[in-house]
Amino acid sequence: MVFIFWQGIISIHQKTFLEALSREPSVQKVILVVEKDITPYRKDMGWEVPTLENVAVVLAPSKDQIISIVRENTDAVHVMGGIRSGRVISEAFDACVKYHCRLGIMTEPFNDAGLKGWLRAVKYRAYKLFYFRHIQFVLAIGKQGMLQYENLGYDTRRLFPWGYFISLNTEPIENERSRDGAIRIIYAGRLEAAKGIYRFTQELVRTSHQNYLLDIYGEGIDEGKLRNLVAEAGVAERIGFFPFLPHEELLKRYKNYDWVVLPSAGKDGWGVIVSEGLLYGLRAICSSICGVSGVITNGVNGLVFHWAENGSCRNAIAAMLENKNFEDSETISRWARRTISGAAGAKYFIEIMNCVYNHNARPEAPWRRAVVNGS
């Protein structure tokens, strides 16, 4: 089989999945077609353009080139990074419809908050009328993505939970975390309201527990008030601030931590920092808004809290700092490699393709099949 992925950029979050897919026995070729190599937003966050092994990359093709790629690969399965999301994806979608190609969507949920969110919902209802009949499957990233497509009326038999499947270049890190009893926590991301880090830190500094160290890597509009909060609470020795790091450098830091936090308060399709932490054997604490919250089992490999429930975040923080009865680092890492790695995603993708096109049984998402303790 030949698979062609049409996406916005060459993403570090897709690299190891696409490479693993290219190594599957039933796969002849994997092609990635992108509108640009990287965005300024991602550059500011420390990203670099990844090199993909065994995956053909086509950068910024013209309309004629797009039509040529589709026309020469009418038997391939074309996977779009959204519906009409950018010039390249829109033109590729139209060409795939024209040439009656096998066509699917891999997409995060759209932001449905506020007036703009309402307008997006109207747009997607129009997409339902014009485009859904051409789409044979949807890989919906996160619980919100699943819910949105269910509510839009997309055939649930061809709607599959999806995520960002990543692999790390090293084996689980030898634990170099603090031996003084402090719970060490890492956050890496934008410092802005939608990421929820200010609200989370407010709850953290109010706790009666003193046995924590939180390191915040990132920049953004909330940085000033975060620093003020920390200073006024008198906890500067327990909460540190660091700029964005190159991604490879950030990965090396995980060995210093026990927990990874992603407290998003606004739309967050997945949350790869949690996947990275789990792969390295960290426990995770995140809000239910994050798509990746679906892989967390409370009290086992982490904790999920709900911003809409009064006291939920505070209670989760207390449980994190008590740090009792959670699985050990090696067990969490081993489970993550079986369920949310690039190789796990590739095998799951092939199972989905066999379900859609060969009428095989519907596969279950890998994180739902395997319990964390491996039993």
Q: Which of 153-157, 170-174, 287-291, 306-310 has the lowest mean pLDDT?
A: 170-174
- Is there a contact between 317 and 323 (Cβ–Cβ < 8 Å)? no
pLDDT of residue 351: 98
Share of the chain residues as helix, strand and coil, in percent rounded to the nearest 5: 40, 20, 40
Render pLDDT for 46-94 as a digit per residue (tens, 0 to 9): 889 999 999 999 999 999 999 999 999 999 999 999 998 899 999 999 9
pLDDT of residue 369: 87
CA separation, residue 69 to residues 1, 54, 323 (Å): 16, 18, 53
CATH number of 183-335: 3.40.50.2000
Q: How confident is the model at residue 179 (pLDDT cuts 50, 70, 90)?
A: low
- With a pLDDT cut of 90, the percent of the chain lying above it is 83
Query: 2-167+341-369 falls under which CATH superfamily?
Result: Glycogen Phosphorylase B; (3.40.50.2000)
Render pLDDT for 332-369 as a digit per residue (tens, 0 to 9): 999 999 999 999 999 999 999 999 999 999 999 999 98
Residue 375, pLDDT above cutoff 50: no
What mean pLDDT value characterizes the chain? 93
Q: Where are the alpha helices (DSSP H) in 78-236?
A: 87-98, 114-130, 142-151, 197-206, 223-233
One fold for 2-167+341-369 and 183-335:
yes
Instruction: Give residue limits of the domains in the chain.
Output: 2-167+341-369, 183-335
pLDDT of residue 127: 87
The residue ranking higher by pLDDT, 126 or 349, is: 349
Phi, psi of 22 (to 5 degrees): -65, -20
Q: How far apart are CA 350 and CA 291, in angstroms?
A: 22
Render pLDDT for 254-305 as a digit per residue (tens, 0 to 9): 999 999 999 999 999 999 999 999 999 999 999 999 999 999 999 999 999 9
192 DSSP assignment: S
